[in-house]
Amino acid sequence: MAKQVSIKQFWADLRTALKERYWSAVWPIAGGMLLLLAISVLISLGIARAFMTFMMMFQMMMYGMSSLSMALMVMVGMWILIAALVVVEFVLQFLAVSSSYAWLDYLRHPEMKFSASAVWIYFKHLKKNQILRLTLYMSLFIFLWQLPLMVIGSLPVIAKVGWLKIVFNIVNDIIVVWKGLEYSQAIFVYRDHQEDFLGQSMRHAITASRRLMGGNKASYLIVSILFIALPMLILGAIFGGIAFYGDYTGTYPLMWAGVILLIIAELMFIPVALLVVAQFYQRIAKPELVADCFTDTFKPVDVLTGSKYADDWRGVQPKTEKLADPQVKTDSKKKTEAKKDE
């Protein structure tokens, strides 16, 4: 059974790490995410503007004041912006993963320097295609776990009963949280055994994470609530309350000040949240335990390369031939030639 994480000790270690490395970590992480967030907002505004333009041109076509080709050009531009927004969102995720790896290495090697160049090195060498596949796998599996309840809950018989639909929604949310806890360590177990994933499925990282979290889900939920969710709620209540008060009283400079301070505070808290996640993995993931979590997951090399089935493809059974002694071959050849001379 997994040993439960001590909240008191976890908080002491968290304070020590933040005291030593917070200000050197906050600028590269929060600064990079602020830049990507600003790009996301600009792209989103462009998508909204393109959609409004397309709807206006569609209405104008009904009166012969616009052409179909112009409307299609606007639509193509809108889809290009949507694709760009998806790319930016994935880059945000890659930055978060790179920062988590940097925090994990700092916890293992406290002498390590934490700077923008260090985070950039982690980001540059990150196997982004594997992280992308791992993310898609996790999203797919969580969706498949939700799918039966979503289908049943959408039936007219169930949808008409209000309380029953609420029950289905609550159960659905519980499944999302449960599976999210099980898959939460996938990026870290993958990183510790990254060399073993050559040619392997990224599903093995999810399996290992699920095994690792077998007795740690409650601890991770408590840690996430105390050190991530609760501080973010407090920051939201403080600065969001300022923005709401400014909007309610018509003091719009105060409202915008609250919104800006809320964004800055949440961004500056992101490095702390990433540290919490990395520190939890460091506390529970002993090397031998992580290795055991990958038992019976990876396929053998001969299976991956297909050499194990080469003889079956040829339709023959493998044969072993006994190699003859060269001297015996020479003597046999001499005897054959002598018989011919006779």
pLDDT digits (tens, 9 = 90+) for 46-96: 999 988 888 888 777 777 676 777 878 888 999 999 999 999 999 999 999
Decide if pLDDT at 210 tops 90. Answer: yes
Q: Express each pLDDT in 174-187 by its tens digit.
A: 999 999 999 999 99
For residues 107-144, b (16+ Cβ closer than 10 Å) or e, as one string?
beeeeeebeeebbeebbeebebebbebbbebbeebbee
Q: Express each pLDDT in 290-342 by its tens digit.
A: 999 999 898 887 777 777 666 665 555 555 444 445 554 555 555 555 555 54
How far CA 183 is from CA of 142, 148, 159, 176, in Å, comes to 9, 20, 31, 10
pLDDT value of position 333: 52
Q: What is the mean pLDDT of residues 194-204?
A: 90
Q: Express each pLDDT in 17-52 by its tens digit.
A: 999 989 999 988 999 999 999 999 999 999 999 888
pLDDT value of position 316: 52
**CB-CB neighbours of 61 under 10 Å:** 14
Decide if pLDDT at 99 tops 90. Answer: yes
**47 in Cβ contact with 82 (< 8 Å):** yes
pTM for the whole thing?
Answer: 0.82
Mapped onto helix, strand or coil, the DSSP state of residue 185 is coil
Decide if pLDDT at 148 tops 90. Answer: no
Interhelix angle 7-61/68-108, nearest 10 degrees: 170
Residue 211 CA to residue 161 CA, distance in Å, equals 38
Decide if pLDDT at 227 tops 70. Answer: yes
Q: What is the average pLDDT score of the chain?
A: 86
pLDDT value of position 318: 52
Main-chain dihedrals φ then ψ at residue 213, nearest 5 degrees: -85, 10
Band of residue 13 on the pLDDT scale cut at 50, 70, 90: very high
**CB-CB neighbours of 281 under 10 Å:** 24
Residue 165 CA to residue 145 CA, distance in Å, equals 17
**278 in Cβ contact with 188 (< 8 Å):** yes
Decide if pLDDT at 223 tops 90. Answer: yes
Round the CA-based radius of gyration of the chain to a whole number and report it: 30
Q: What is the mean pLDDT of residues 98-126?
A: 91
pLDDT value of position 1: 40
